[in-house]
Amino acid sequence: MAELSEENNSTNSNLYLNSAIGFLSVLLIGLLISLFSRIIYPRILNQRVETPNTELIGSIIQLEVLNGCGESGIANNFTSLLRDNGFDVVETGNFERFDVENTFIISRGPSTTNAQRVAAALGVNNTYIIREESPDFYLDVTVVLGKDYQSLNTN
């Protein structure tokens, strides 16, 4: 009877070990497949390609409109205005502070051509265009509305 009990314990122990080995084998095979698929099909990073000419690839300029004056709803009002003028406003929100006196435009690309087109549509002087290129931004232009928003073009 003691021999039968030892055989049962040995069989159960072998069953657990075989199950653990099988599970770890399947896990190892999955990891190896994942590794080889990353080597064969590497990730493609989205990066803005700098073109030698400054012309737009498409006719749509993507921009964000930020409220820098603290007037409630002003960013949404200008979003509608800019969309009516053919610009693609992809984001609206508040600027980091609300004491911006003059509306300014931030060019996110390698040239200020897009920012100049937005400035012309809003009636903002080109001296208020800032160039801040960053590979992390996938926007062309940022408009920060200042306390002078009433003097901007609204048609």
Query: What pLDDT digit, counting tens, does each position of 82-107 carry?
Result: 888 888 999 999 999 989 999 999 99
Q: Among 10-14, 53-57, 140-144, which stretch is predicted with the lowest mean pLDDT?
A: 53-57
pLDDT of residue 41: 75
Adjacency order of strands within the sheet including 62-67: 88-94, 62-67, 141-145, 104-107, 129-131
Q: Which helix (H) or strand (E) holds 106?
A: strand 104-107
pTM: 0.61
Position 117 pLDDT exceeds 60: yes
Separation between Cα atoms, residue 43 and residue 49, nearest integer Å = 17
HSE (side-chain half, CA atoms, 13 Å) at 77? 13
Query: What pLDDT digit, counting tens, does each position of 29-78 carry?
Result: 999 998 888 888 776 655 544 544 444 445 688 899 999 998 888 888 88
**Fold observed for domain 62-151:** Alpha-Beta Plaits (3.30.70)
Separation between Cα atoms, residue 54 and residue 96, nearest integer Å = 30
Phi then psi for residue 85, to 5 deg, are -90, 5
pLDDT of residue 24: 95
